[in-house]
Structure 1
């Protein structure tokens, strides 16, 4: 028991760890809340696109000596506009357009970063550096997280209907175009907030995995949201603890833990898990066998 207490208390002796745990938990909660909508809408690839597209924005913002969040957000929204424009003007399917845009933006970011490599640590941008997060970045993350959560709360029902059935949402008078860009703007904001925690490459996992885990555990959206947020907070906090004790990548530990939670849910989910489906298949086979005997 004392070993467990010491394991939990030891990191709290350092201010940078307290900050890291707080920021990780906050980002984990926000990403998890948004991931429910991403899962319902089937936008995992869109999350990947936006998270990668912010890289050139970071480089441009540094060159212009403005907050990195501004550049990242502008390029994140710009990637969404580019995807919509190309899709509307060509016969190319959306998934192909997304792949073209996000790889193009990401490559542009790599080129720009290479020009200022001595000043910007590419590793921290790609994989995060929550252990070295500055106070200004904490304030920025708190503000972005607060804005995202408030908007999600205000538009919860409209966004849920839009993600579940956009045709029905349009038929009852909802402005689906507005909801489309609101959701993608929130996606860009969240990618910026998670930049310091897990970095550009791993943020897509935080925007997908908690929602996918919760989707296996509940058929009700409100319950799914609570499960996802609990999963996001738990994996973020425990991932930060584990990274401290094993001296490993914080973002990597968080995402690995989220993936393990998903695997547990995939196997043991009471209704949609592999074991439950196996029992259901056996019962159906047994019932069919009895029918044949009759």
Structure 2
């Protein structure tokens, strides 16, 4: 590559840089045919992939959860450095690791030594100061074989997010199968009520988000009343309290950071003081350490 592509996307694969239209993976890659892969997305702060160590740790957990041998940390870090060196103004880094070439069905080859496919890209990102969310008619399965894993099988998120976008929202909020508040399609959720910020317990089936994790740690260290809810403590109907102004919401994610919610189901809702405090705390701590 001799110049930045107009899309601003730079890709690393097979040991070198590529543009977004280059052919990179086999048509029988199991990540392409059946979604047999995992990924991480990091925001870019001060030219570096934010919280990369934590993201690589979670990538390894997700890979093992699928029965894959995780990629080498050193190789991933080298790829991240290379794409960011070529795209210094990028807003995000995405790391994707798949099972590599395989059968056309869901089964994998028995060859356990087959290398996976690693693709790392840097590209633009847009971060909003506030969020707008909607409830959707679908649920997360907290008992799924891949519950809590960040896999490339994202079709149900695509459908739910399209539903949200058609209603002027940027995120969809899902319950789980037993009526607990779970998460968004690409975000964790925090509920402000009773003088606390609460986020659903991991047993709800939500992803163990890196921003969620850091907000819990940093909030506890600085006296912000934020905690993980007890299992079953946050029911999905807590969103009725948000709609009535008795509670408030914020979403968290690697690109959005901490985003107070200003609309639920196409109706304005007030922003909570703790949600604003959490946003400010996260921004301040993020600026102090790019790999906390």
TM-score range, shorter chain: under 0.3
Which entry has the higher C-alpha Rg, 1 or 2?
1
Structure 1 or 2: more helix by fraction: 1
The normalised TM-score by structure 1 is 0.28
Give TM-score, length-normalised by structure 2.
0.28
Is the strand fraction higher in 1 or 2?
2
